[in-house]
Structure 1
């Protein structure tokens, strides 16, 4: 007698809030996102239909609150409502959707957010079977490939963003790049607002910037990585990618929430360069604790689609996300999806970063596999761009050598100035 092979299933784990019995709410969620409807149908008893049904895998009640977190929720009639919070895990047979990222998203994060039974819902994590992961190529470069292309073996890639974000034409952008490359920068990126506008056309920007980068590569023997923002329609992104390749570039960037999973996946299928995945708009997904996505779940979608670099914010950043969340996000990027899918992606620390956060970032993350992008923290250094790059690199060297930043600053004037200047500005 042979043991039956279990069907491949994918799972989603949620945090939820409801005034209804949690098990009843979980059943409503499973029905809504598979075979159920608001009216019981005879066809739901069909064995083939039942095979496609979502299944409740786990329910764990956490606590209770007196008022609902979100508007529009309903409560059982005739009783004083108690709003219960819980974690619920649902699973679906892979055969119900097949290995498709757009349809996965529609299944695990579709109409659930609109159910009146729920006064709060967050998607905490998703788990995908190997059959799903094998359908997509995933990151082509990730951590190791990015390090190889950038020529950086031990330290993080020290990076920056072109500032001002918009307003520079192609020639002035190239002038800014020349200063950065001459200062020894590892990585530069377009701002997400700069793509292909009339003031700085994409092709002209690539041509001007790569002339500088290629010239310095010939002189210094090392090519800085520049992430050109090619966000656009699918055909535009493919064409722009090929322009970067022809110019000798080593990275492209796309705003993932703008191009969507299908658009990003199409870019990955075409691309031969690392793809820097910018998450602008992420605040809409995470900022409410009662609604949205945890980064672990959200980032898996883009990792499977083929992102090589993913933004995670940073310690004491300029946005609302705290450092604990940023570190957890970076760890998620550096954790293999499965043993058979070991590729990891490069977390990108940014948003108000400078030399002063390097030591704590390294201590809390326990890794230097990251891009450390400092805008004002480099270009705003009082002694100039070169001193800004030197200060950040020295701070990371100190952290990885087990030395305090204060001790390293005693023999690195650029770092000493950064600590004094940015310490006062940023606190």
Structure 2
């Protein structure tokens, strides 16, 4: 009898524990952080309507239990607990995951979407396709002015029109990424008032006009990428104020004028890419210390100038240096061999002359050297190991007075397109 009582008592205790756990999962724990916290009905209705607007009315969430933030959440939807209830905080629409919901061809931003009052992150990736044309101009973006921190539209070829002026009201925004869409028009000036921005990526669109000067007042910005557009005008002098910037990419536009000397104020900069523009002037900003710079890419610009007087010690961390097709004249200085971190050196398609110093072989990290299509002269006097390491990544062709002396080095490592020196013929 005593044994049976102990067994029954143990069973009752276990059942009470299980019931208690289930109660916590359904109703949420005391501090409102329970996994099974309930969802406010209006929040769930707003989310369902919003998703139907994005993926189509065929979706009704019927397989979700007990709600979209419970044990079977929607892929791409994240929630958090506020005052004991689930609210949507992150919404990622499009082909992000293998089981992501596909977007509807007639995607729409329904009014209920803008009732998600705790939304912090919103992204649309590979969603708005070319057979549809969706504008985001008329959407009620002001509703997210005090909550939204990250907004992204990536690879949406059917996304057209201008950047909504209402984006300038998203005062909490820290990341604005609009990449590889078909957005057009001028860059909104009021984006420059989003002082919390840390990432501004507007690359791969059809933007035109000048870069607003007040973009230079985004002092918290870590990444600015306006590449692959049709922007014109010169680089604003205010850019000297982007002192937190790590990556700065304005490549593949139609920018002109000189590189402002104030660029050297950007002491934290690791990447500067101004390639494929119409930028002129010389490389005077290199005369100031930019000790964090690792990639300097200025190719395909009418910069001109001479490399001999540049103070390479100011950019001693450089790993990628691409000055190809920039109208450079004079000789290639031996001082470049002091850039011990250098991995890629592109000096091709210029008007450089003189000999190629064998000291470049002392760059132990160098894996690509291009000096083709210049006016270099003399013998190539690099050790055998250098040619073997570089292979076809040593480009020296189209230098009519440059030759290879195979009396010292095996002819089977002769760089492509370089003739044998006359005494070896």
Q: What TM bracket, shorter-length normalisation?
A: under 0.3
TM-score (norm 2): 0.23
Where is the helix percentage greater, Structure 1 or Structure 2?
1
> Which structure exhibits the higher relative contact order, with contacts defined as CA atoms closer than 8 Å and separated by 6 or more residues?
1
Please say which structure displays the higher CA radius of gyration: 2
TM-score (norm 1): 0.23
